[in-house]
């Protein structure tokens, strides 16, 4: 059943390139994303029952455990929301002459190729194949970043390709060193097999393994948007179509981070502690949060501001993984989910605002609550949510991480961490809250929502992050607990 997660998006791509009628293309997209979500729910049950799922008939190629299942769920949930949001978004773009109807097939085929590459990265246990899949995410998503073919979009796409290709090349060197660390330990049939590397971790060459992790952290860290390798991210996220911005921020960054976590688990098991990986992860995490805080305070483009916020939250997750305590890891995994849902909601909201106001400049936005009551309300509450205010889910995961920091040996990290979070909150409040009130400069703006299917997605996501901030479903808690055990080796 799980192997259909790889087959379905490929079949969808072929259909989308063959079918010419736009209504059929929309239907194929929604049908594909719905089917993927149903398959994921079935796979979740198997993982909860058995701990991991792999099929002997596939030669051990397909492998999913609780850790990969969490990120896979995020991919398919946000993918489904992006498919629904794209219905109204693309029609609105066509209506205003920003997109030709013939390009719908290209858009959807690229989107499902992108989703396929992320699913592939999360459903293989061979670290080399995972690297290939993460590299493939760059190739498929680069065309989506430059989809509008204007000067800024093409510049962002080239920047994305060049910087991420360099990062992925560095990660490849790390994967090669990871393989060399297992020379004489694993047989040829299990080279770079994550489960074999994990089982035999104590026998791997420690010095080579440590060096491998440094390269993997830098390489995949570039793709995850961690500072100082983050430069591609604000341009790519701000220039891509808004549904794709949601996928890039809410999904792609976590897929790259997943590769880092897999490598860190092997190194920690080899070293017998997290002291080596922990210091590196905490250091790069704090740097990422600090970098985001500085740029958020000076942003004039609201989509770029949201992109810098993604850098901050990747930093928060990395700090949590570096702390390596049960509470921190649980909070970090929760934060992956919470950030993805909240940031996707914000990028969807920004897409509606952009289509109504036709500008990304914060200074040109006024009266959003009056002109777009639903989108404006969701965007306002979403900003409070992403800044970590209760009762939203981001607050719950951030609070867990803060408590874990002060319970650990790095209390000075806790002080810096809290101060930086406060700075980010202040930056978002000072920069964006003024757009919601006053009278818009364009007196011809009509009150009302654009993209009704997308507006429904906004409301669903808002309800989701509010409820999950107050109550964590039992199955989700069990899945996170199992993933926590994989990371901590318990």
Q: For residue range 382-436, list pLDDT tens digits in order.
A: 999 999 999 999 999 999 999 999 998 878 889 999 999 999 999 888 888 888 8
Per-residue pLDDT at 58: 65
Q: What is the pLDDT of residue 59?
A: 67
Question: Per-residue confidence at 192, pLDDT binned at 50, 70, 90?
Answer: confident
HSE of 296 in the Cβ direction (CA atoms, 13 Å)? Answer: 29
pLDDT attached to residue 392: 94
Q: What are phi and psi of 423, to 5 degrees?
A: -65, -40
**pLDDT level of residue 122 (50, 70, 90 thresholds):** very high
DSSP 410-452: -HHHHHHHHHHHHHHHHHHHHHHGGGGSS--S-TTPPSS-S-H
Tokens of 33: 């994303």
Alpha carbon distances (Å) from 467 to 78, 369, 399, 461, 463: 17, 23, 16, 10, 6
Note the pLDDT of residue 269: 94
First to last CA, the chain: 29
Give the residue with greater pLDDT, 184 vs 393: 393
Give the pLDDT of residue 433: 83
* pTM for this predicted structure: 0.95
Per-domain residue ranges for the chain?
A: 4-488
pLDDT at 7 over 90: yes
The pLDDT, as a whole number, for residue 429 is 86
Q: What is the mean pLDDT of the chain?
A: 92
Which tens digit of pLDDT belongs to each residue from 335-380? 999 999 999 999 999 999 999 998 899 988 898 999 999 999 999 9
Q: What pLDDT, in 10s, does the model give residues 432-485?
A: 888 888 778 777 788 888 889 999 999 999 999 999 999 999 999 999 999 999
Q: Reply yes or no on whether the pLDDT at 57 is more than 70.
A: no
pLDDT > 70? residue 1: no
Alpha-carbon distance 236 to 156, whole Å?
5
């Amino acid at each position: 059943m799980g192997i259909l997660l790889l087959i379905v998006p490929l079949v969808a791509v072929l259909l989308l390139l063959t079918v010419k009628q736009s209504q059929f293309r929309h239907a194929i997209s929604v049908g594909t994303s719905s089917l993927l979500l149903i398959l994921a729910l079935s796979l979740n049950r198997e993982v909860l029952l058995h701990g991991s799922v792999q099929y002997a008939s596939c030669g051990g190629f397909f492998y999913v455990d609780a850790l990969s299942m969490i990120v896979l769920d995020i991919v398919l949930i946000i993918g489904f929301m992006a498919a629904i949001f794209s219905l109204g978004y693309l029609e609105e773009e066509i209506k205003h002459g920003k997109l030709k109807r013939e390009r719908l097939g290209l858009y959807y085929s690229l989107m499902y190729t992108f989703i396929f590459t992320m699913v592939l990265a999360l459903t293989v246990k061979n670290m080399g194949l995972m690297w290939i899949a993460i590299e493939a995410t760059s190739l498929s998503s680069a065309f989506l970043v430059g989809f509008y073919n204007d000067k800024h979009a093409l510049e962002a796409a080239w920047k994305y390709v060049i910087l991420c290709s360099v990062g992925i090349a560095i990660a490849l060197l790390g994967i090669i060193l990871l393989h060399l660390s297992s020379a004489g330990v694993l047989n040829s049939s299990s080279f770079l097999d994550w489960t074999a590397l994990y089982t035999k971790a104590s026998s791997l060459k420690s010095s080579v393994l440590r060096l491998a992790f440094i390269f993997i952290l830098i390489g995949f860290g570039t793709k995850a948007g961690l500072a100082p390798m983050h430069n591609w991210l604000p341009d790519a996220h701000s220039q891509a179509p808004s549904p794709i911005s949601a996928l890039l921020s809410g999904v792609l960054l976590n897929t790259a981070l997943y590769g880092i976590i897999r490598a860190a688990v092997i190194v920690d098991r080899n070293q017998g502690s997290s002291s080596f990986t922990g210091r590196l992860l905490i250091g790069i995490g704090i740097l990422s949060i600090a970098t985001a805080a500085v740029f958020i305070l000076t942003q004039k483009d609201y989509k770029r501001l949201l992109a810098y916020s993604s850098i901050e939250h990747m930093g928060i997750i990395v700090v949590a993984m570096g702390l390596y305590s049960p509470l921190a890891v649980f909070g970090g995994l929760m934060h992956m989910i919470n950030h993805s849902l909240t940031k996707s909601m914000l990028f969807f909201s920004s897409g509606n605002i952009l289509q109504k106001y036709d500008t990304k400049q914060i200074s040109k936005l006024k009266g959003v609550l009056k002109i777009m009551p639903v989108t404006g309300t969701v965007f306002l509450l979403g900003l409070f949510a992403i800044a970590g205010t209760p009762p939203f889910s981001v607050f719950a995961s951030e609070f867990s991480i803060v408590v874990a920091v002060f319970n650990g040996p790095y209390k000075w990290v806790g002080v810096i961490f809290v101060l930086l979070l406060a700075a980010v909150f202040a930056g978002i409040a000072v920069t964006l809250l003024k757009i919601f009130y006053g009278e818009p400069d364009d007196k011809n703006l009509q009150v009302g929502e654009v993209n009704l299917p997308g507006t429904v997605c906004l409301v669903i996501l808002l309800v989701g992050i509010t409820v999950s901030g107050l109550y964590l479903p039992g199955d989700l808690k069990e899945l996170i607990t199992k993933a926590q055990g994989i990371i901590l080796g318990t």
